Structure 1
């Protein structure tokens, strides 16, 4: 009798298949296609459901990219996201990648109760609501929705943010971000988000929500960023608590 917690035959086979696929990936380059599932199942001597389960694990981990109607390919490596106060553009440039993007929408509107509360302003005050697609080396990485009090940068225009770092723009106007609070949670893409990012619906993603403050302690921005889970991994530097 198999003991509780001991992997069953199906799990063991999937692990073996996973190891075989990982060895195969060592010989392939980013963008290379895997053989068809039928051919792989025959070569590895397993059923197609077992093979598909192993491939699904590697897709979830961002090692493989399954494209509907096309096949399965070696995915781009994930980018480590260090949890620091830096702009997307600055972060990508530091990694030797070409940052870019485009403004999807730009409008001025009243804050409303929820955004007003996050930015510590009246619900009737105006905010800029800016939605941007963030790119690195031409590939989609994230959708960013930025809210900031209009009174901070009343002359801000859509063109000011095309291909530019928002934090650099703030510094040019004498606004320095000094602190922030950020939450991160796993999620999946909606149909609209998937279309913008060019990924399948329900692709794993990270939802970042941040409120940043100036040196005077005034809330400057509330940002909601959806990062592709297949292109990012979180990176933390841990230190022991002083005694």
Structure 2
């Protein structure tokens, strides 16, 4: 399963195989190391460190992990002891448990640092290759909701730009932007932009100066789940943004992020306190 290109060269996503259909765990017999009884270090701690080293040196993110039963047999330990070691690694986000499926190596979550930059810039900063599948690029009439959010009259023309955003070929979020059509005359005469904010800045002189975000937890609908390659009802982060140039509303957007690939990181500072430390990328 993965990204494919149709004859026109447009990137799309092959959903013919569900991401959870096939999981083949490595054998517990492959794990090197032995428990040293009477060493003064608790047995579950020894096992935890053996498993941690094996994960870091031999397994890829998302890989299936041996069962507690197999690990207990491999190290001649009670399953309760094995569970205690695995629980510690789950708490540390080294491993993930998925009910009904098993235990897996944790996939890194990207810190969703809220700022007015493009998706392409953010993924390139992380050393990943961004890509996008355009789902719609059209002019629509402002609904009552859009009119309220964009401070327009109902029925006024709005540009709708909806995309599935990917990183290293994997779907990460569904983004939908709404821009008052009078702000971007002729934008539909050109192909869909690869970076919306760059086009707004370079072609229309609309440099986003500030914004307001609302972030909440939500569950994946059938249509969003299909696009993001997750199950219906899986947790997502929903971000609604109002972006401004001076005091004018220019962009209203709604984004759905996979909660298994993102975590929200918000720097805080007490008024009058020291300046916050410099941000460093985390993966």
Instruction: Report the TM-score, using the length of structure 2 for normalisation.
Output: 0.66
1:166 shift after superposition: 0.6
Q: 1:133 matched to which residue of 2?
A: 164
Pairing 1:210–2:268 present: no
Distance 1:25 1:202, change over 3 A: farther
Q: What is the aligned length?
A: 221
Rounded to whole Å, the distance in 1 between the matches of 2:115 and 2:156 is 30
For residues 36-86 of structure 1, what are the alpha-carbon distances to aligned partners after superposition, in whole Å with 9 as ceiling and x for unaligned?
Answer: 465357666338xx79x959x67xx695485988x6542431111212111
Q: 2:18 matched to which residue of 1?
A: none
Pairing 1:165–2:169 present: no
Instruction: Check conservation: 2:95, 2:103, Cα contact below 8 A.
Output: no
Pairing 1:234–2:264 present: yes
1:191 shift after superposition: 2.1
Rounded to whole Å, the distance in 2 between the matches of 1:127 and 1:141 is 26
Instruction: Check conservation: 1:62, 1:77, Cα contact below 8 A.
Output: no
Rounded to whole Å, the distance in 1 between the matches of 2:112 and 2:200 is 22
Distance 1:68 1:193, change over 3 A: farther
Segments of structure 1 that go 5 or more residues without pairing to the other structure are 1-14
1:127 shift after superposition: 0.7
Q: 1:11 matched to which residue of 2?
A: none
Instruction: Check conservation: 2:120, 2:130, Cα contact below 8 A.
Output: yes
Aligned partner of 1:25 among 44, 55, 73: 55
Q: 1:45 matched to which residue of 2?
A: 78
Segments of structure 2 that go 5 or more residues without pairing to the other structure are 1-43, 274-283
Residue 223 of structure 1 aligns to a residue whose secondary structure is strand
Aligned partner of 1:184 among 190, 199, 215: 215
Instruction: Report the TM-score, using the length of structure 1 for normalisation.
Output: 0.76
Instruction: Check conservation: 1:178, 1:213, Cα contact below 8 A.
Output: yes
Q: 1:74 matched to which residue of 2?
A: 105
Pairing 1:95–2:126 present: yes
Q: Which has the higher contact order (CA 8 A, sep 6+)?
A: 1
RMSD: 3.3
Rounded to whole Å, the distance in 2 between the matches of 1:143 and 1:62 is 27
